[in-house]
Amino acid sequence: MDLRQRRLRTALMLGTAFLAGIAVAPATGMLGHALAQKAGNAQMYQLLKEFGDVVERVRADYVQAPNDRELIENGINGMLTGLDAHSSYMNAKAYKDMQIQTKGEFGGLGIEVTQDNGFIKVVSPIDDTPAFRAGIKPGDIITALDGKTVQGLSLNDAVEKMRGPPNAKIVLTIKRQGVDKPLEVPLIRETIHIQVIKSRMEADNIGYIRLSQFTEQADSGLRDAIKSLRAKSDGKLKGLILDLRNNPGGLLDQAVNVSSDFIDQGEIVSTRARHPEDSNRWNAKGDDLLRSLPLVVLINGGSASASEIVAGALQDHRRAILLGTRSFGKGSVQTVIPLPGNGAMRLTTARYYTPSGRSIQGLGIEPEVTVAETREDPGSFGGDREADLNRTITNQGGTAPDKVEPRTDLPPIVSEIPRKPPEGFPKFDPLKPSETDFQLQQGLVLAKAMVAQKSASAH
């Protein structure tokens, strides 16, 4: 296994790796290029000297003797986090924790977070975890941990404080849109076993699969779930709902494999890096496990990264109809690069593009059928999507959304599906999803209409 392959398997949240290419410049202009490079190097040496001078002054005169490792690690992390919202440094423990998390098990609260404006923002809680059961919501702002502000903490430091041994208590202070006072949320840490796949049969032989994260078990779990649904329906499975709501992403190869489970051939996703030779493209490599049965995909503002790759591929190939609300809009690729000392850095190295050439960076994916979760306008506290974060990379080089051919295959019932629940619709109860999940209900309506449309066209 070469270096590129090894890095690909360790990359989290759309991590992939690119080997450095060597560009051969034409003979003319080589001297000018060399002189410019020399000038640039001279400036960099001066800046590095300045950095070294600051380090030595801190070591000599800070009010108390600093820890040298922490000093340098903080400097590295500051350099990376100053680039964009997703680049960061991981010390040896954080890197090890990340590798464990991609395998689907770790200790803590079960919450996916990012950093924004000095605070910690919730991307999404993970199903059946302390954070999920306590009602933590995407877009919540964590302002304090056990009464101590998170301002001044790096994202890794905040995550480290939220993790801990099972049965240990922690109190999160949260600001939530529409709530006047801060919320104090006590949580008990657990060993988090991520059950990335859940499935069940709904009425009329429509299957339901919930995919909560793209860990190493995502593709194999999906395949097993489809096989199980076929057995439960006595081989009469008529359609499927794939639920990617609040799925914050995961491994790129799993996103490609899951997309390939529904798409026979063609592009799944492409990446464009700073250097053209480092760009890449992934194509479908399997058979449609559903054999062209109707497919509805549920998305919302917590669907990010790898979830958006799958949703975008299925949408562009006209393989599924998306229902819900606009996705998060994370269209960048991070490479996880191991460093001496057993740490690693997560560096944004490319943008990714859907098969039609769209970059969803900062835009997200708009579903064909917009259905809100509740009647209330959720609003946002400082924004709750990629475009609202500080230091986001720009959206560039892709096909404009309005240039994508509009769909002509939607069932007529789409125009009748309500955009929000009716008055008095019950509050969501995870124990009664079919009765209290309005988006799922409308997904079932859509799936049944797609089944009827497919049956009519076959005769």
Residues with catalytic roles: 305, 316, 330
Backbone angles phi, psi at 307, to 5 degrees: -60, -40
What is the C-alpha radius of gyration for the chain, rounded to an integer number of angstroms? 24
Distance between CA atoms of 433 and 431, rounded to whole angstroms?
Answer: 6
DSSP track, 177-229: TT-SS-EEEEEE-EEEE---EEEEEEGGGEEEEEE--B-TTHHHHHHHHHHHH
Distance between CA atoms of 324 and 301, rounded to whole angstroms?
Answer: 9
Contacts of 345 (CB under 8 A, 6+ apart): 76, 80, 87, 88, 89, 90, 336, 337, 339
Distance between CA atoms of 307 and 14, rounded to whole angstroms?
Answer: 10
DSSP track, 58-92: HHHHSSSPPPHHHHHHHHHHHHHHTT-SS-EEE-H
Amino acid in position 86: H
Amino acid in position 190: E
Q: Is 276 strand, coil or helix?
A: helix
